Amino acid sequence: LAGLAFGAHAADYPQKDKVITIVVPFAAGGPTDRVARDLSEALRKPLGGATIVVDNASGAGGSIGANKVARAAPDGYTLLLHHVGMATMPTLVRNIPFKVESDFEYLGMVNDVPMTLIGKPSLPASNFRELTTWIHQNKGKINLGNAGVGSASHLCGLLFQSAVKTDMVPVPYKGTGPAMTDLIGGQIDLMCDQSTNTTSQIEAKKVKAFAVTTAKRLTIPALKDLPTLQEVGLKDFQVTIWHGLYAPKGTPADVQKKINDALKIALKDPEFIKRQESLGAVVVSDKRMEPAEHKKFVLSEIAKWSPIIKAAGVYAD
């Protein structure tokens, strides 16, 4: 009934004069924003030429934007594009004002993105071994950029500190877009960030790149020579960031199906795939495109990350 209460009738969804908003819970210019904007382009045609806009509702490590969608009208015109934060916030961010498993409809997964460990241009290390020497010579003084408590860069940075047994000074931003500006400028020293945001900066030699967080090396030219953190000694280190699409709980089932059908077409869009793959991302082509499998995957990721986060003693208030 919720759907009818909001006058959302799948038959005419999306209505020509109505705008579909995809909320990105981080600042413009970062990796989540990049996925959302590329995806919006690929969704336009499958959604009947709908007008799709991106709304950057940042803050609190991505939980402010997620909450905005959890509280939005369940009519299919406000969607959320979020990443692994949906699985880590329940442990990393105490008292989040929504329940990941029950306040959202799951509309399908979008991609998997590797992370890269990068440094400011003036950092006096040109490989991972030299980086670890520098880290141990600068204990307690290293500024580690992230997108706030609960963000992917925060999670990866915490696990990295735990692996190298060195605490660093976390410097939170509204997203790793703005954080990257300060890293290039030398205001911060290190950051763990997704390749969708770092590949172009690494290619342009605006930052130093030390390693990737995936189990296997990447194949794209800009990143193929970077060792994995496992290769350089952090044996269990593996972080891959995935992105999914969500709607508020109660969005009519047939509206959800229309969006998921459009998503499946978008995920096969050659331009979308080319853009994402050029940045090291892998567009989802498996069963996680299905809403039920998307939800199952997120619940399994909550179960996976919770003990890892707690064991590393890294969850934050």
Single residue of 120, 193, 214, 284 touching ligand MLT by CB under 6 A: 193
Which CB sits closer to ligand MLT, 158 or 267? 158
Which CB sits closer to ligand MLT, 154 or 258? 154
Which CB sits closer to ligand MLT, 147 or 212? 147
| C-alpha angle 67-108-174 in degrees, rounded to nearest 5 | 40
Single residue of 3, 170, 175, 244 touching ligand MLT by CB under 6 A: 175
Report the distance separating Cα 39 and Cα 156, nearest Å.
25
Which CB sits closer to ligand MLT, 128 or 242? 242
Report the distance separating Cα 15 and Cα 150, nearest Å.
35
Q: Are strands 19-24 and 208-212 parallel, antiparallel or unpaired?
A: unpaired
**Which residues inside 140-159 make contact with ligand MLT, applying CB under 6 A?**
147, 151-153
Query: By CB under 6 A, is residue 280 in contact with ligand MLT?
Result: no
Q: Which residue has the tokens 């141990």?
A: 136
The pair of three-digit structure tokens given for residue 137, joined into one six-digit string: 């010579």
Single residue of 88, 176, 214, 251 touching ligand MLT by CB under 6 A: 176
**Which residues inside 76-105 make contact with ligand MLT, applying CB under 6 A?**
85
Residue number closest to ligand MLT, CB atom: 30
Which CB sits closer to ligand MLT, 27 or 245? 27
Single residue of 59, 108, 177, 280 touching ligand MLT by CB under 6 A: 177
Which CB sits closer to ligand MLT, 14 or 31? 31
**Residue 17 CB, nearest distance to ligand MLT (Å)?**
31
The phi-psi region of residue 296 (left if phi > 0; otherwise alpha if psi is between -120 and 50; otherwise beta) is: alpha
**Residue 85 CB, nearest distance to ligand MLT (Å)?**
6
Which CB sits closer to ligand MLT, 255 or 309? 309
Single residue of 40, 162, 194, 228 touching ligand MLT by CB under 6 A: 194
Buried b (16+ CB within 10 A) or exposed e, 246-260: bbbebbbeebbebbb
Return the bridge partners of 240, or none: 114
Query: By CB under 6 A, is residue 195 in contact with ligand MLT?
Result: no
How many residues at the interface with ligand MLT, by CB under 6 A? 17
> Which residues are at the interface with ligand MLT (CB under 6 A)?
26-27, 30-33, 62, 85, 147, 151-153, 175-177, 193-194
